[in-house]
Amino acid sequence: MNIPEIKGRKVQQSEQIRFKCQRCSACCKHVHEVVPAEALDIFRMAKFLKRTDPSITSCDDVADRYLEPVPIDESGFCILMLKSVGEDDRCIFLDGNRCRIQSAKPRACRTYPLAIDPENGRLEYFLCTERTHHYSGPQIKVRSWVRKTMNDEDKAFVIEDPECSVRIARLLRQIPKQQFSRALLLFLHYRYSDYDLEQPFMPQYRRKNEQLLAVLQKMIGGN
């Protein structure tokens, strides 16, 4: 599966990097199909937004209003990205220079300037290098930044999700053409919909992925 490549320099946990958010919002502009919203991100956004917006009651409401699907390979496997708006393709959540969902922003925004990628069950860290004006200010240790921006739930998700995604993409590739649209709808439903926002995320995520794998397997007539 062709997951968008992380651009940046690999860094070790013990390394120090210079970084200070300049509150310039440059990272939140020109982000058409750039900022991924993973299932865990959407779950958290829904919980956060429903506190102040009565029209948001579920992950589906968040997806309908703020996200768009972007196919990433010929299997039909797609990921959801934050919508962008305006001539400068700014993030739909950017309000002036402020993020409207600061405490529930997606992992990609939280860990910036680090991008995190799992490799053989371990996390690897990459320093994004595209906006060099950010790299001044105090030294921060990679390890401390990761601790500050990712909790155990994030780490479990980051390790498990790619592995599961590969299994799903493999099955999607085998779905007969005439059943493909239905498979895609089921894929979106099981991956992103129908979460109980009052219950913990990971058990629901695991159960729904197993259900999706079983349904896809049945559609291709496999064992």
Contacting residues toward ligand SF4, per CB under 6 A: 28, 31, 35, 82, 91, 93-94, 99, 101, 105-106, 109
Task: Tell me how far CA of residue 151 lies from CA of 5, 9, 142, 160, 188, in angstroms.
Answer: 24, 23, 15, 15, 26
Shortest reach from residue 24's CB to ligand SF4, in Å = 11
Shortest reach from residue 94's CB to ligand SF4, in Å = 4
CB closer to ligand SF4, 104 vs 216: 104
CB closer to ligand SF4, 129 vs 211: 129
CB closer to ligand SF4, 75 vs 111: 111
Task: Tell me how far CA of residue 176 lies from CA of 39, 173, 206, 213, 220, in angstroms.
Answer: 26, 8, 26, 16, 7
Instruction: For residues 50 and 197, give the distance between their C-alpha atoms in angstroms, rounded to a whole number.
Output: 10
Shortest reach from residue 186's CB to ligand SF4, in Å = 28
**Sequence letter at residue 185:** L
CA nearest neighbour of 84 among 31, 146, 20, 10:
31
Shortest reach from residue 34's CB to ligand SF4, in Å = 8
